[in-house]
Structure 1
Amino acid sequence: MSTDKYGTDQAPDCYPGTDVLINLLNLQNAQDLDEAERYINEVAAETLDFILPPYSLATLKQIHRTLFERVYSWAGEIRSLAISKGTTRFCSPEFIEREVAKEFERIEAANWFEGYRRDQLVVSVAESYGTLNVAHPFREGNGRTQRILFEYIIVNAGYSIDWSSIGRQEWIDACIHSFYTSDQPLADIFDRCVGTSLVELDY
């Protein structure tokens, strides 16, 4: 089984003798690639327009392609390799489309969480984020892609969202907890990031 960039026994999509993914920038140092990715992502994210539901795997592909098309030739494509981070093994490639579709169907059945109270929304998006993270449809960049999708979902549900208080390691730790034990750490993150209602309600 192949592992992702956090492993050492890398697949053919990495530069020989490294765990650095082959990229369009030909950067073969992990830190250089990481810094370039994040700068390009920030610039590319500014070009994305808000999307109304329905959302689907196609939405995730569109976001991923926009964020990574200057970095990877496979931007926007579903991974074909089995990957893991540490002891966390993500969805096998052959099941990704099915599992992602099931989760989007579940969110759609909940009317994209429209009309939810803030506390309901926090719990619901945490659960869905954890589920989609396990599917991990792309070789790299899943977290950044998912957060933009969830911005759409949360704003469409009528709330503001700001990720700036959450560090990278906190996201990783919360996703690990979601995989093994509980969605509560993800819910805690969303509770800190989801703001007040964007709509003034007249009771």
Structure 2
Amino acid sequence: MARDKYGVEHDPDCYPGTSVLINHLNLRDDAALSEAEIVLTLAASETLEFQLPPYDFTYLKRLHHHLFKAIYPWAGKVRSTDISKGNTRFCTASRIEPEGERLFRQLAKQQWFANASRSQLISDVAEYFGELNMLHPFREGNGRTLRLLFEHLIINVGFEVDWTPIHQEEWIEANIAAVDCDYTKMAMIFDRCIGE
């Protein structure tokens, strides 16, 4: 059997013999499912109200559930399958919860960036985004969920955020660099996205 986009063979989250994730819409085509995800998560994000801290790992799971509940039966649940993308192996499934809790405890100690200057905020969010992305806690939809979380974090400390200046290739490059704890490219992206 061919491997799916996350390097998993015989994936229990996919329809048998395919790389298409089992979904409420019963779509069996990757392109159709991707298109449905875009439409439905955009609609879901527009109904989500901004919330003040505390932001914790449970909050991240709630965001994912809100975005993907119309699409996937496992929306908001931490993945149970180990996955990789290209040469990047994401966090082992058994370590996602403890590592996620640890990162959010660190965020809480920093009061969710409440006292950070803009330059410190850019540096901090670049690092935390990279770390949380390496968790890849969900089977699908990690990027969208993390961007929503970081919108809340950034807006909470009084800054605006606009993702439109990002090009997909540079976003992928920044996330790949963050695997090796090089957050320079990610910081450059956040510098363009975070307003005054």
**Fold conserved (TM > 0.5)?**
yes
Paired position in structure 1 for 2:88: 88
Structure 2 alignment gaps of length 5 or more: none
Please report how far the alpha carbon of residue 115 of structure 1 lies from its aligned counterpart in structure 2 after TM superposition. Answer: 2.3
Note the 1:98-137 alignment, pairs <5 A: 98-137=98-137
Q: 1:43 to 1:174 in 2, by over 3 A?
A: same
For residue 53 of structure 2, what is the amino acid of its counterpart?
Answer: P
Give CA deviations for 1:138-178 in whole Å, capped at 9, x if unaligned.
Answer: 00000100001000100111100000121333322211110
1:77 aligns with 2:87: no
For residue 20 of structure 1, what is the amino acid of its counterpart?
Answer: V
Larger mean CA deviation between 169-178 and 25-34 belongs to: 169-178
Aligned residues: 195
Paired position in structure 2 for 1:140: 140
Q: Quick check: 1:5–1:21 contact (8 Å CA) kept in 2?
A: no
Between the aligned partners of 1:133 and 1:60, the Cα distance in structure 2 is 12
**Partner SS state of residue 12, structure 2:** coil
Between the aligned partners of 1:141 and 1:182, the Cα distance in structure 2 is 23
Task: Give identity over the alignment, percent.
Answer: 50
Note the 1:30-69 alignment, pairs <5 A: 30-69=30-69
Please report how far the alpha carbon of residue 181 of structure 1 lies from its aligned counterpart in structure 2 after TM superposition. Answer: 4.8
Compute the RMSD of aligned alpha carbons. 1.6
Between the aligned partners of 1:143 and 1:83, the Cα distance in structure 2 is 15
For residue 58 of structure 1, what is the amino acid of its counterpart?
Answer: T
Between the aligned partners of 1:58 and 1:17, the Cα distance in structure 2 is 33
For residue 43 of structure 2, what is the amino acid of its counterpart?
Answer: V
1:24 aligns with 2:24: yes
Structure 1 alignment gaps of length 5 or more: 197-203
Q: 1:33 to 1:174 in 2, by over 3 A?
A: same
Q: 1:162 to 1:67 in 2, by over 3 A?
A: same
